[in-house]
């Protein structure tokens, strides 16, 4: 089973600044990576798939990059609504698909 | 508008059973790949299982922790996905979400229900 490791566990950033979240796979997953955002009390929302393709309706300030084992989610200018928990998910070698443990993005 | 509505959660004793439902609307359910994902209190997301759409053969896959205890089924005539959970353990306590897979996007869990809470406790 592929293990996904996200870092950092918590990231403190000021509104308007850039946030960079990392996700590493225990083996190569090509570009088969998705990112989700989850706010308290809500279901997750798909942000990115294919490592870099934004899902419908996702603002351009969200961008994804990477391939192989190392991936990054960048939020270029943080808005108040962006503070949430972010999960990466691999779908290259599954079942099972696997999620990272999450990065909590909090207001600095 | 795509909607997924889970129901059937509740409090159950260890070793007990529970059946969750996910009522779908706003899309062609029979061809949709559907998943169950769970989230234990204060924890991350965990994939539970998947039921492929009819056009793709309808195969079912399960995560190792639930295999042989949980059964995913669907009633395409009623646009409903089910999760039969037997021999429940305390570690099965979680919010259970149903999701579509790759319905509106090339891939991804693109639509989610609001979740139903399952608590396993004596």
CA B24 remoteness from chain centre: 12
> What mean pLDDT is reported for chain A?
96
What phi and psi, each to the nearest 5 degrees, are found at residue A82? -85, -10
Q: What is the mean pLDDT of residues A75-104?
A: 94
In this structure, the dihedral spanned by the alpha carbons of residues A55, A57, A61 and A64, taken in order and rounded to 10 degrees, is: 0
Taking residues B72-87, what's their average pLDDT?
Answer: 97
Res B21: pLDDT: 98
Kindly tell me if the per-residue pLDDT of B94 is higher than 90: yes
Percent of chain B with pLDDT over 70: 100
Task: Return the number of CB contacts < 8 Å for A and B.
Answer: 60
For B36-79, write each residue's pLDDT tens digit. Answer: 999 999 999 999 999 999 888 889 999 999 999 999 999 999 99
Distance CA B65, CA B49 (A): 10
Contact A49 B107 (CB under 8 A): yes
Q: What is the rounded CA–CA span in Å between residue B71 and residue B95?
A: 17
User: Taking CB atoms and an 8 Å limit, are A49 and B108 in contact across chains?
Assistant: yes
What chain B residue is nearest to A45 in terms of C-alpha separation?
B110
CA distance A106 to B38: 24
Chain A residues close to B112, C-beta within 8 Å: 43-45
pLDDT digits (tens, 9 = 90+) for A28-68: 999 999 999 999 999 999 999 999 999 999 999 999 999 99
B109 CB neighbours in chain A (<8 A) are 34, 36, 44, 46, 89
The neighbour count for residue B82, using CB atoms within 10 Å, is: 18
Q: Is the pLDDT of residue B115 over 90?
A: yes
Going by C-beta distance under 8 Å and a sequence separation of 6 or more, which residues neighbour residue B26?
A: B1, B2, B3
Nearest CA in chain A to B114: A43
């Amino acid at each position: 089973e592929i293990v996904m490791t996200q870092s950092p566990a918590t990231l403190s950033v000021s509104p308007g600044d850039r946030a960079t979240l990392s996700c590493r796979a225990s083996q190569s997953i090509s570009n088969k990576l998705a990112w989700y955002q989850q706010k308290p009390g809500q279901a997750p929302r798909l942000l990115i798939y294919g490592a870099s393709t934004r899902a419908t309706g996702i603002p351009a300030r969200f961008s994804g990059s990477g391939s192989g084992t190392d991936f990054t989610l960048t939020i270029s200018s943080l808005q108040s609504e962006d503070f949430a928990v972010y999960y990466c998910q691999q779908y290259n070698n599954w079942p099972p698909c696997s999620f990272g443990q999450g990065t909590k993005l909090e207001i600095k | 508008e795509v909607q997924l509505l889970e129901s059937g959660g509740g409090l159950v004793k260890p070793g007990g059973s529970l059946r969750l439902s996910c009522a779908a609307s706003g899309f062609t359910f029979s061809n949709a790949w559907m998943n169950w994902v769970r989230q234990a209190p204060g924890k991350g997301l965990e994939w539970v299982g998947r039921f492929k759409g009819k056009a793709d053969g309808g195969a079912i896959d399960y995560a190792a922790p639930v295999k042989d205890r949980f059964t995913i089924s669907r009633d395409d005539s009623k646009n409903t996905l089910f999760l039969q959970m037997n021999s429940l353990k305390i570690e099965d306590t979680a919010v259970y979400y149903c999701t579509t897979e790759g319905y509106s996007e090339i891939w991804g869990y693109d639509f989610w229900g609001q979740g139903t809470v399952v608590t396993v406790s004596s």
